[in-house]
Amino acid sequence: MVIIMKNILLLGDSIRVGYDKSVKETLEGYANVYFLAENCRFAAYVLRTLPDWITQCGLKGEEYDLVHWNAGLWDCLRLYGEDVQTPIDIYAYYIDRVCIRLKKLFPNVEFIFATSTSVQEEKMHNDFKRYNKDIEEYNRVAVEIVKKHGFEVDDLYAVSVTLPEEAHSDPVHYYTPIGTEAFTNQVVSCITESLGIKGDFVYSEKLHTDKPVGI
């Protein structure tokens, strides 16, 4: 019997970079997992660069079965004591436009939006700050919009707040065995449930060890 494997695309910021290789390894034999080496940064950047990413990943948009994506941590970043990088109403505007563009470039594809993860705000440098209250509000706004477009939600924020301090590799990222396993298992569970992929999925660790972009 020939098994036709599903094609999955992972898009997102440096949190996604921390679990993408492990998701690919864990789903080997069950699905083809594609992702970019590039950090997908903030919502406006996602909107502009989506067509380029399709070309880089090698498949046509309609050849994918599911896109799992996120954007938000760069948007709510506060540099040098200033306001957020992307005001929340502008963030909402871009998340809405990203949803529209995703559906245009990836016809008949399932979409899952992943919420932004929590940070250790007390350990961040004063010139480079994120606050969990901002992250929670940006998540709330994004979730409301993506659900309006019929997208599913993968609540990585809810997972992140359950993790111990040692799951962090720095105040923002989770490039550790604990963090990588937690997010990989969550993403795999969400994807396989959405696509109806059945199997005994055994977590396969592939840690990201490079310095994060956008810390």
Which residues make Cβ contacts (< 8 Å) with residue 73, sequence separation at least 6? 13, 14, 15, 116, 117, 119, 130, 135, 172, 214
Please say whether the beta carbons of 63 and 109 come within 8 A. Answer: no
Q: What is the pTM of this model?
A: 0.96
User: Which helix (H) or strand (E) element contains residue 184?
Assistant: helix 177-195
Per-residue model confidence as pLDDT tens digits over 150-167: 999 999 999 999 999 999
Domain layout of the chain by residue ranges: 6-195
For 32-66, the pLDDT digits (tens) are 999 998 899 999 999 999 999 998 888 999 999 99
Q: What's the topology of domain 6-195?
A: Rossmann fold (3.40.50)
